[in-house]
Structure 1
Amino acid sequence: MDSHGTPASGYWYGPDDRLDPPAAILQALRDYRASEVATRRSTRDSMGMGETDLLALRYLLRAKSTGERAGPKDLSRVLGITTASTTSLIDRLVASGHVRREPHPTDRRSLVIVPTVATDSEVRATLGQMHRRMMEVAESMSAEEARVVITFLRRMSSAISEERHQP
């Protein structure tokens, strides 16, 4: 161990984290995160767009599937970006054929941003198999296993969020 309590033989963990279950859990989370990041990068590359663009499409597709109308203000709020950045984002997505602007059906001063049918098909083709495999893993768990994993992940999310919000 060094002066910070870190094992001297590894960045975070010792050479055999299987002997230390908490370290093995954290390493498994890091491995999952690395796989997720690589997959997201590959998806962005194959679709020719950036992270924010992909997050916007995911939000817009989800809104469309639930019958919700999403406008520029909604995108700004969900993505945590400025109005100017949102306008640029929408312009890019319109130019690439991923979304279209439509008049709001009840507020003639507003617009709604709607993903195209082709976008829905492209996202399904790009991510569909991976989502099916992930769902198979989740469905293979017992109710008790699922409860433990859900509780753990929520507690980890809370632990990470607490650090972000400390002065």
Structure 2
Amino acid sequence: MLALNFINNAGEMTPKELSALLEITTGSMTAMVDRLEAAALVTRNPQPTDRRSLLLTLASAGRHATQWAQDVFENAIASVCQQESNREAAADAAFLATIAEALNQAARLQKAA
């Protein structure tokens, strides 16, 4: 998801740029891009200014996945904020733990679907 979010925010980027952001080796990057492409989440396109390089862009399924994750995250935060509208600064740790649990629950529900 982090890789998809980086690509989504940039619009397109080279595998080298993405590997630097993710702090992974080029070998790991190649394997990740292979998996993302096989899952139809990203596409590899020729780099117009450097024929030795590629540009990664999100495929339709990749855009859908990043939008879904953003929606789930925002809904989880909104739900917790409504429950915790009168919280104090000292309760921040509990607040964030509740958000994490809401996100984990949403992920479990999606996985079960």
The TM-score, its normalising length taken from structure 2, stands at: 0.62
Q: % of aligned pairs identical?
A: 37
Deviations along 1:97-126, whole A, 9 cap, x unmatched? 100110012222210011112211232124
Matching residue of 1:88? 31
Q: Does the residue aligned with 2:45 lie in a helix, a strand or coil?
A: strand
How many residues are matched? 84
Higher relative contact order (CA 8 A, sep 6+): 2
Structure 2 unmatched runs, 5+: 82-113
Out of 52, 57, 79, the residue aligned to residue 114 of structure 1 is 57
Q: Does the residue aligned with 1:109 lie in a helix, a strand or coil?
A: coil
Following the alignment from structure 2 to structure 1, what is the Cα–Cα distance between the partners of residues 38 and 72? Answer: 28
Deviations along 1:7-35, whole A, 9 cap, x unmatched? xxxxxxxxxxxxxxxxxxxxxxxxxxxxx
Question: Residues 62, 136 of structure 1: CA spacing in aligned structure 2 closer, same or farther, 3 A cutoff?
Answer: farther
The answer on 1:55 being equivalent to 2:6 is no
- After superposing the two structures, state which structure 1 stretch, 109-118 or 129-138, moved more: 129-138
Following the alignment from structure 1 to structure 2, what is the Cα–Cα distance between the partners of residues 72 and 56? Answer: 10
Moved over 3 A (4+): 132-138
The aligned amino acid for 2:19 is S
The 5-angstrom pairing of residues 118-157 of structure 1 reads 118-131=61-74, 134=77
- State the structure with more CA Rg: 1
- Aligned-residue offset at 1:129: 4.2
Following the alignment from structure 2 to structure 1, what is the Cα–Cα distance between the partners of residues 55 and 5? Answer: 15
Structure 1 unmatched runs, 5+: 1-53, 139-167
Following the alignment from structure 1 to structure 2, what is the Cα–Cα distance between the partners of residues 137 and 101? Answer: 39
Matching residue of 1:45? none
